[in-house]
Amino acid sequence: MRSLRAAQSLASRSRLLSARALHGATAASYPAAAAAGGSRWGNPHPPPPSPTPSSRALQGGIAGAVSFSLTFATVAAAEVQAKERLPADLLPQNVVLYQYQACPFCNKVRAFLDYHDIPYKVVEVNPLSKKEIKWSEYKKVPILTVDGENLVDSSDIINKLQRKISPDVESTGEEETKWRRWVDEHLVHVLSPNIYRTTSEALESFDYIANNGNFSFTERFAVKYAGAAAMYFVSKKLKKKYNITDERASLYDAANTWTEALNGRNFLGGAKPNLADLAVFGVLRPIRYLRSGKDMVEHTQIGEWYQRMEDAVGEPSRIEEGRE
């Protein structure tokens, strides 16, 4: 609703500004009439003089501006409504996501929640102590609580949420299922060796985590430097485990594999994203504006699809602390 109101406000402002511009142009085109109308002694309703060629051109230009402005506002409103919003009776309530900010699996869940405009709160988990999830037997993230029910494993979480919000849809298509599996079994394994490829890149990733979690100064320091160091060495093990010789080349290959699968479509889902689109977008979102993500967009064709996904998913539906 907040995005729709923003679009409506944009359209209203465009109409108002265009009307003011047209009024100003008309007054400027007929200075004698404006002067007579404002005079105490003159005829209050003098016949307007014939418009000059320049005034006709000015009016035509303003009319064009009005038309463009209204068209732009209409298109903007349509783009803002790209999200898949749910009927109130299907909207999950009391949703809390326990996550690491840079975790691809957590971002996959967030992409689903954002796209469907499901409000959710976030608890940033300390990756060293994990004190925020001590209450849970499951010690990995993401963990999503929905109306008191604990959901774990990103793909499982999305499957269960999808059944809740689309009870009439029995199953996903074969192509969609294939590429969702590709995300979990291949794409995510390419990411860590790229995110933590060098010590500086590892620190770049952990800098955001340290600055956005609800951590003390000591915890922030430990999370950033100890976490980055740990993940740097973990990424080297993952690189060996998955037979990755060149981190960037493997990332570029994965991005190109995905764009080839689109086969000229805006999304794998066609006119709008499906669960595979959301999964790929979700796991790439934490790296997009890191060095690795910038390199990926520069050296592959994935950038246009990614931008379409950003527009479709829209603003996060996360509930910020202190706001309900």
Paired tokens of 116: 């469907």
Paired tokens of 246: 């060149």
Instruction: Give the DSSP letter of residue 249.
Output: H
User: Residue 2: which residues within 8 A CB-CB, separation 6 or more?
Assistant: 315
Question: CA gyration radius for the chain?
Answer: 27
Q: Are 300 and 259 in contact (CB under 8 A)?
A: yes
DSSP string for residues in 183-203: IIIIIHHHHHHHHTSSHHHHH
Q: Phi first, then psi: what are they for 111, rounded to 5°? A: -60, -40
Helices 104-115 + 303-313 axis angle, to 10? 50
Active site residues: 100, 103, 105-106
- List the one residue out of 79, 23, 26 whose CA is nearest residue 308: 79
Residue type, 53: P
Paired tokens of 302: 């994935």
Q: Are 283 and 187 in contact (CB under 8 A)?
A: yes
Can you say whether the dihedral through the CA atoms of 162, 165, 166, 167 is positive or negative? Answer: positive
Half-sphere exposure of 64 (CA within 13 A, CB side): 6
